Amino acid sequence: MPLSAAARFRYTVVAGATAVVIGSGFTFVGLTRDAGAGTAVSQAASEQRTLPAADPAPPSPTVVPSSPPPSARPTTKAPKATPATKKKTTSPEPTKRRTKPPTSAPETSGSVLDQVLGHINAARKDEGLPPFTLDTKLSRAAALHNQLMISGCGLSHECPGEGGIGDRFSAQGVKWSGAAENIGYGSSGASDSAQAGAANGLTDSMLAETPPNDGHRKNLLNPGLKRIGLSIVRDSKGVTWMTQDFVN
| pLDDT tens digit sequence for 114-168 | 999 999 999 999 999 999 999 999 999 999 999 999 999 999 999 999 999 999 9
Alpha-carbon span 69 to 107, nearest angstrom: 38
Give the domain ranges of the chain. Answer: 11-247
Q: Which fold has domain 11-247?
A: Pathogenesis-related Protein p14a (3.40.33)
Given CA atoms 168, 139, 218, 200 in this order, what sign does their dihedral have? negative
CA separation for the pair 244, 117 (Å, rounded): 10
How much is the average pLDDT of 64-90?
36
pLDDT beyond 80 at 196:
yes
Cβ atoms 201, 10 nearer than 8 A:
yes
Q: Is the pLDDT of residue 66 over 70?
A: no
Number of residues that make up the chain: 248
Please report the pLDDT score of residue 105 as a whole number: 75
DSSP structural state of residue 25: G
Q: What is the DSSP string of 169-232?
A: HHHTT---SSEEEEEEEEE--SSHHHHHHHHHHHHHHHHT--TTS-HHHHHHT-TT--EEEEEE
* CA-based nearest residue to 61, from 225, 208, 190: 225
Return d(Cα 53, Cα 146) in angstroms, integer: 24
Tell me: the pLDDT tens digits for 81-125? 333 333 333 344 444 444 455 557 788 999 999 999 999 999 999
Report the pLDDT value the prediction gives residue 106, as an integer from 0 to 100.
Answer: 80
Q: Region 175-202: what's the mean pLDDT?
A: 96
Q: Which residues contact 100 (CB under 8 A, 6 or more apart)?
A: 151, 161
Position 232 scores a pLDDT of 98
pLDDT tens for each residue of 9-55: 332 223 233 333 322 222 222 222 232 322 222 334 445 555 544 33
CB atoms within 10 A of CB 56: 6
